[in-house]
């Protein structure tokens, strides 16, 4: 009589064996946000660019950063203003995707802390004149003397996104972010309407962001 015995290989042992056969590249990944020039070509009131980078700390964790510059003109009923300046976002990504064999793709969750330093210029405005007897508001002549103030904003972001290796060390990425304003400076007798890196500032102090990136990995080692 012949007895056969089968041992079950654990998932952990399988992952270790796979990693030893297909080592993961570690290095710095640099790229640009393609959505910014596309938006600028479609919206004449906007211009901007963004550089993205991340560095792999472990199999699943990445340090991540974005640096950019934006200029946005906001036209409302009685005001016209322009915000222009630079911003920086720092944080991390966690890759929740289990790659097959030697694939190097990501489905990630991320966090960023953002800060922006910018000038907001009130290009023109039309003050409202009050008739105290009848309680009537009506506009007076438009004032075209620009008023510029230097401001700053701070916020946090929760992100979700994907990165796909289309060619060797070349990645296409897509991410969405939910932004929560922490603080922003307010100019005298006006409101901060737009902060580079955060986008339009609403009364709720929240907003959304989107980017579409093309990046290249410079590998330092594999393990």
pTM: 0.83
- pLDDT digit string (tens) for 80-90? 999 999 999 99
At 159, list the tokens. Answer: 């992100």
199-216 average pLDDT score: 94
- The answer to whether the beta carbons of residues 214 and 34 sit under 8 Å apart is yes
CATH topology of domain 27-222: Porin (2.40.160)
Tokens 């304003």 sit on residue: 181
Q: Where do the structural domains in the chain lie, given as residue ranges?
A: 27-222
163-192 average pLDDT score: 94
For the ranges 4-8, 122-126, 197-201, the maximum mean pLDDT occurs at 197-201
Tokens 């009589």 sit on residue: 1
Q: How far is Cα 74 from Cα 119, in angstroms, rounded to an integer?
A: 13
Q: How far is Cα 210 from Cα 197, in angstroms, rounded to an integer?
A: 11
At 24, list the tokens. Answer: 């993961």
- pLDDT digit string (tens) for 24-72? 889 999 999 999 999 999 999 999 999 999 999 998 999 999 999 999 9
What is the pLDDT of the chain when averaged over all its residues? 87
165 burial level (CB within 10 Å; 0-12, 13-18, 19+): middle
């Amino acid at each position: 009589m012949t007895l056969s015995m089968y041992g079950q290989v654990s998932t952990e042992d399988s992952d270790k064996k796979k990693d030893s056969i297909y080592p993961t590249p570690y290095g710095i990944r640099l790229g640009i946000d393609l959505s910014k020039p596309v938006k600028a070509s479609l919206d004449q009131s906007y211009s901007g660019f963004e550089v993205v980078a991340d560095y792999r700390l472990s199999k699943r964790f990445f340090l991540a950063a974005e640096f950019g510059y934006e200029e946005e003109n906001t036209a409302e009923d009685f005001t016209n203003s322009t915000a222009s300046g630079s911003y920086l976002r720092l944080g991390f990504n966690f890759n929740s995707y289990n790659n097959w064999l030697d694939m190097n793709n990501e489905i990630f969750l991320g966090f960023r802390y953002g800060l922006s330093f910018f000038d907001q210029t009130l290009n023109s405005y039309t003050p409202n004149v009050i008739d105290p007897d009848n309680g009537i508001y009506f506009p007076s002549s438009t004032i075209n003397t620009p008023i510029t103030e230097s401001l700053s904003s701070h916020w946090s972001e929760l992100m979700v996104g994907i990165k796909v290796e289309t060619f060797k060390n070349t990645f296409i990425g897509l991410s969405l972010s939910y932004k929560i304003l922490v603080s922003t400076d307010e100019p005298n007798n006006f409101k901060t309407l737009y902060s580079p890196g955060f986008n339009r500032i609403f009364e709720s102090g929240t907003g959304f962001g989107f980017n579409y990136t093309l990046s290249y990995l410079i590998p330092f080692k594999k393990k």
